[in-house]
Chains A and B, each alone.
Chain A
Amino acid sequence: MNQNDSTYRLAARDAIESRFARSIAACLTESAQTVAPDVAERLRFAREKALETARLARDGAAVHGLGVTSSGAAIAGFRHSRWWLRFASVLPLVALVGGLVLIQDWQNRTQISVAAEVDEALLGDDLPINAYRDPGFSEFLKAPPSE
């Protein structure tokens, strides 16, 4: 019986405390509505700045996600994106070295081809090749053609 009374009193006390606290809170809310204009303005500025920050944070996250997709790592999963980025950064260098090797090879082939043509012309001519070693023939070739 006494225990019931005690429980009842505690519950009643809690209820009264709670009602009192809420009425005080209502007064605080009413009081907080009437802030000075400069305070209200600074709060508005802070809010707008925060919203701008939120937009930037969301955009940053979206760009990061897009980067992963464009690198082709979306299928492989987010954690492979670094490997793909490294591969993508090395790719132009590999292409450059490959291009230089191809150009070198093409130049070598061209030089060999030109030398072969000269050899072919010399060997196929009626004039014997030893004639070019003769000083008199060299002078003849250097001299201007006469009438």
Chain B
Amino acid sequence: MATDKELSDFLKSVEKRAWKRAVYAVRDDDAALDIVQDTMIRLSEKYADRPPAELPLLFQRILSNATMDWFRRQKVRNQVVRNFSEFETAGSDGDFDILETLEALGGPLQSESVADSVSRAQILQMIDAEVARLPARQREAFLLRYWEELDVAETAASMGCSEGSVKTHCSRAVHALAKALKAKGITT
């Protein structure tokens, strides 16, 4: 059973990322805060007796469900369906080669020719915006897999899809981000 301190530390460690994820999904800061609060309370109410190791996956599942509940309440099911359908049609990057774009991998984030004129804060903002532009399922998979550091199986369980779908979503998200950032003159 997680103690008060363990639960508090866990919530503290995920709350900002959770809020950002909710903002990406609903594009409304206040609604995202409500969703995060709802998620925290649901977790505490129903799963406070679970060991600390189980909390991250439970939290991510509850956050996804709370976000879906928000969409249902807002009666924007059509928007969700549209976002989901984007996943089906997106991803054909054609002749774009990620290896070419990411050849210089390994160093810290930097800009290309406009390195001196673009502040790091602006770069972070651009990355933020590009992540927000990803199709919902791709973004969800990308964030769970690489930001929340869930493994493929956990991500699949959280999203309610197969592990193969998670890999596909993640790969497409990475390609889309690399392409978009390359177009803005940013490489990693």
**Chain B residue nearest to A27 in the complex (CB):** B127
Q: Is A32 in contact with B177, judged by CB distance below 8 angstroms?
A: no
Chain A contact surface mostly? helix
Stretch at the interface among A49-57, A76-84, A113-121: A49-57
Least distance between B3 CB and chain A CB atoms (Å): 10
The CA of A104 and the CA of B97, in the complex, are separated in Å by 101
Chain B neighbourhood of A30, CB < 8 A = 124
Q: Is B44 in contact with A29, judged by CB distance below 8 angstroms?
A: no
Q: Is B98 in contact with A17, judged by CB distance below 8 angstroms?
A: yes
- Report if B37 contacts A (CB, 8 A): yes
B109's contact among A12, A23, A46, A55, by CB below 8 Å, is which?
A: A23
Chain A neighbourhood of B128, CB < 8 A = 28, 31
Chain A neighbourhood of B99, CB < 8 A = 12-13, 16
Least distance between A107 CB and chain B CB atoms (Å): 58
Chain B neighbourhood of A43, CB < 8 A = 15-16, 19, 33, 36
Give the number of chain A interface residues (Cβ < 8 Å). 37
Stretch at the interface among B71-79, B82-90, B141-149, B156-164: B141-149
Q: Is A20 in contact with B4, judged by CB distance below 8 angstroms?
A: no
The CA of A46 and the CA of B44, in the complex, are separated in Å by 11
Map CB proximity to A onto B31-54 as digits: 1 under 8 Å, 0 otherwise: 001001100110111101100000
A-B contact pairs, 5 of them (CB 8 A): A20-B174, A27-B109, A27-B123, A32-B17, A58-B48
- Give the 4 A-B CB pairs with smallest separation, nearest first: A50-B40, A46-B37, A54-B44, A54-B48
